[in-house]
């Protein structure tokens, strides 16, 4: 049995650009770990390479985010025309399973652990069902990923990733997890054992990335007690790692120091905004704007590179705030913003429900627009065009080359911990990636105004696939 697992991707510019990066979807390795050991498996990340649609597979699993749905429908339809069975899963598939059933042979709406083996077994008997929704046990059910199947040649800077937990205990209004994913975590011993005995390392660049991995968790700090236990267990292993977690952990100096001791050198936090009104509108009370300066120094002084994500388009945004943002960041001596986007009201979120009720969702929005870089709603205090202009200007300003040098100057001397300087130096070029989503000068960045990628548009029209409209 030949099985392919494909994580699909379409670039925010809507040009057919590949963007290999450190962080990749790990769903292919996860699904592969749930397939029978004798299956012939091929894993693909479309962010790294085009999918070879002429391969002879028997069964194909697709993982996609909202914005990749139209494109994934095309890929699935082309494969099904060749007699290959396709299965969809992931957050969008769970939310819109009825729609997905039209374009895939089966849709998995339950956790992958019980459902992937069930679907494969049914497929082998020639009895694939349309929907799989078996309820799994807890996070302890998570099986080891098939890291051995990652081909680092396709993406020389990729790092292996592992999940220690799923979900998040917070309830931010714009987050796809809010209301859907309870926080749960795996036994520490299981996680550490997999890192030590099964993970395969990126050997590129003369071994610079060897021993280095990332936690894929939405919030590795969902339980500070669990995070402490995990760090204690990692100290003797001497690995280097990164993760994403919330502001409340960054405020805990002792825990930040413990993380650094355990090998943590990179933390991503969704700061979202430096405007208190926006933080309130996001219901993200764990972010304390008044403590940002202290939190930044604490992380860097302890040997950890802190990266923030910021958003525009929230209800607190004003002309004055957006105009002053680069200046405020410079005053904080903070230049390593690596994610800068437009607030996206994903359909399963409280934010979407609120905007819908207030009739502020823009007309003509298709699932392709839900990419985090397209304005899908009417902001409260700014015009649509005005918001987009600020977004484009800020991408250019925050992603400029000079910021790499300012970043080095403000952080390289902050800590002597092993590998700290290497991580800071390697992170410099990432600052430029803030400009990547705006490379297409034709693009309008307002929902309903931008066409799909030319290849997708042609295929969708040829195959007569309807677009999924979400407003
Ligand atoms: C790596 C990553 C990326 C990569 C790869 C994207 C991808 N295909 O996953 C890149 C860099 C492209 C990316 C981009 C963006 N991302 Co991102 N990203 C992640 C991250 C950190 C890890 C994803 C991962 O591999 N997780 C581990 C795997 C095992 O879990 P999972 O992907 O959640 O999948 C689970 C289920 O959904 C299910 N599943 C998924 N697919 C399938 C398929 C089958 C067949 C089955 C059975 C099950 C299944 O199984 C998994 C285990 O439960 C997550 C955070 C997170 N921890 O999930 C955010 C996350 C997915 N990203 C998010 C966002 C907002 C973005 C961005 C807008 C910008 C940003 N903030 O970075 C952009 C644009 C996304 C878009 N166009 O919609 C959101 C949600 C987006 C969404 N559409 O739902 C997340 C959840 C972070 C968050 N909490 O806000 N991202
Ligand atoms: S803290 Fe992050 S992962 Fe948790 S609900 Fe908020 S945005 Fe989502």
For 226-256, how does the pLDDT look when each residue is reduced to its tens digit (9 = 90+)? 999 999 999 999 999 999 999 999 999 999 9
Residues 126, 199, single domain; the answer is: no
Per-residue pLDDT at 173: 96
E strand residue ranges, 293-440: 305-312, 339-342
* CB 322 within 8 Å of CB 328: no
Mutate to test the pocket of ligand 1, among 18, 21, 25 (most ligand atoms within 8 A of CB): 25
Q: Say what the pLDDT of residue 232 is.
A: 98
Nearest bound ligand to the CA of residue 271 = 2
Tell me: do 122 and 175 sit in the same domain: no
d(CA 362, CA 366): 10
Tell how strand 212-215 and strand 161-162 pair up.
parallel
The model's confidence at residue 140, banded by pLDDT at 50, 70 and 90, is confident
Instruction: Go through the chain and tell me how many residues it has.
Output: 471
- The verdict on residue 106 lying in a domain is yes
272: left (phi over 0), alpha (psi -120 to 50) or beta: left
Co-location of 79 and 182 in the same domain: no
Atom of ligand 2 nearest to the CA of 172: 6
Tens digits of residue pLDDT in 275-287 = 999 999 999 999 9
Does residue 261 belong to any structural domain of this protein? yes
Domain of residue 111 covers: 2-132
Q: What is the mean pLDDT of the chain?
A: 96
In terms of domains, do 174 and 127 share one?
A: no
**Which CATH number goes with the domain that contains 45?**
3.40.50
Domain total in the chain: 2
Residue 427: how many other CB atoms lie within 10 Å? 21
Given pLDDT bands bounded at 50, 70 and 90, which one contains residue 48?
A: very high
**pLDDT attached to residue 271:** 92
- In a domain, residue 414? The reply is yes
Q: What is the DSSP string of 64-101?
A: --GGGHHHHHHHHHHHHHTT-EEEEESHHHHHTHHHHT
Pairing mode of beta strands 131-132, 184-185: unpaired
Residues 125 and 178 in one domain: no
* Predicted confidence (pLDDT) per residue in 57-74, tens digit: 999 999 999 999 999 999
Inside any domain, residue 174: yes
Q: Within this chain, do residues 121 and 181 fall inside the same structural domain, yes or no?
A: no
124 and 61 co-located in one domain:
yes
* The pLDDT value given to residue 181: 84
The residues near 162 (Cβ < 8 Å, ≥ 6 apart) are 26, 145, 191, 194, 195, 199, 213, 214, 215, 216
For ligand 1, atom 23, which residue shows the shortest CA distance?
A: 25
Nearest to 230 by CA among 168, 125, 222: 222
Q: Are residues 320 and 176 in the same domain?
A: yes
Beta-ladder partners of 131? 107
Question: What residue's CA is closest to ligand 1, atom 45?
Answer: 89
Instruction: Judge if 174 and 323 occupy the same domain.
Output: yes
Identify whether the C-beta of residue 60 lies closer than 8 Å to the C-beta of residue 87: yes
**Ligand 2 pocket: which of 177, 288, 344, 351 to mutate (most atoms <8 Å of CB)?**
177
Which residue lies with its CA nearest to atom 80 of ligand 1?
Answer: 176
Two tokens, residue 28:
């292919």
Ligand nearest to the CA of residue 346, numbered in listed order: 1
| Domain assignment of residue 137, yes or no | no
pLDDT attached to residue 90: 97
Beta bridge partners, 56, equal none
CATH number at residue 212: 3.80.30.20
Q: What number is the average pLDDT over the span 389-401?
A: 97
Q: Is 250 inside a domain boundary? A: yes
Asked if residue 111 and residue 233 are part of one domain, the reply reads: no
């Amino acid at each position: 049995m030949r099985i392919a697992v494909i994580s699909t991707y379409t670039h925010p510019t809507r040009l057919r650009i590949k963007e290999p990066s450190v962080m990749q979807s790990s769903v292919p390795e996860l699904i592969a770990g749930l397939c029978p050991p004798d299956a012939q498996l091929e894993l693909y990340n479309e962010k790294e390479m085009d999918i070879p649609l002429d391969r002879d597979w028997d069964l194909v699993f697709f993982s996609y985010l909202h914005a990749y749905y139209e494109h994934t429908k095309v890929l699935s339809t082309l494969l099904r025309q060749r007699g290959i069975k396709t299965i969809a899963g992931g957050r969008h598939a769970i939310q819109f399973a009825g729609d997905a059933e039209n374009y895939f042979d089966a849709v998995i709406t339950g956790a992958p652990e019980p459902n992937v083996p069930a679907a494969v077994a049914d497929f082998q008997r020639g009895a694939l069902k349309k929907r799989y929704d078996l309820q799994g046990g807890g996070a302890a059910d998570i099986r080891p990923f098939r890291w051995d199947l990652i081909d680092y040649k396709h993406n020389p800077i990729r790092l292996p990733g592992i999940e220690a937990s799923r979900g998040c205990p917070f309830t931010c209004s714009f987050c796809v997890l809010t209301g859907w994913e309870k926080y749960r975590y795996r036994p520490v011993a299981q996680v550490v054992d997999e890192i030590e005995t099964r993970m395969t390392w990126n050997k590129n660049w003369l071994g610079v990335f060897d021993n280095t991995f990332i936690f894929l968790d939405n919030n590795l700090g969902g339980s500070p007690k669990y995070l402490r236990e995990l760090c204690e267990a990692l100290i003797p292993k001497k690995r280097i790692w990164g993760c994403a977690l919330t502001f409340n952990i960054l405020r805990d100096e002792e825990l930040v120091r413990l993380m650094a001791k355990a090998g943590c050198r990179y933390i991503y936090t969704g700061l979202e905004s430096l405007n208190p009104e926006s933080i309130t509108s996001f219901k993200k009370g764990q972010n304390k704007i008044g403590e940002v300066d202290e939190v930044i120094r604490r992380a860097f002084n302890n040997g950890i590179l802190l990266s923030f994500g910021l958003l525009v388009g929230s209800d607190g945004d004003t002309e004055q705030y957006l105009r002053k943002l680069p200046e405020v960041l410079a005053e904080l001596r903070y230049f390593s913003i690596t994610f800068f986007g437009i607030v996206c009201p994903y359909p399963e979120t409280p934010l979407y429900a609120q905007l819908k009720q207030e009739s502020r969702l823009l007309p003509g929005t298709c699932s392709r627009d839900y990419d985090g870089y397209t304005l899908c709603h009417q902001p409260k205090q700014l015009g649509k065009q005005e918001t987009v202009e600020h977004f484009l200007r800020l991408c250019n300003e925050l992603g400029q080359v000079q910021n790499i040098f300012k970043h080095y100057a403000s952080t390289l001397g902050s800590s002597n911990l092993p590998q700290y300087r290497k991580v800071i130096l390697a992170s410099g070029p990432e600052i430029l990636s803030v400009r990547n989503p705006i490379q297409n000068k034709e693009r309008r960045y307002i929902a309903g105004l931008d066409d799909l990628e030319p290849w997708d548009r042609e295929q969708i029209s040829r195959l007569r696939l309807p677009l999924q409209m979400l407003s």
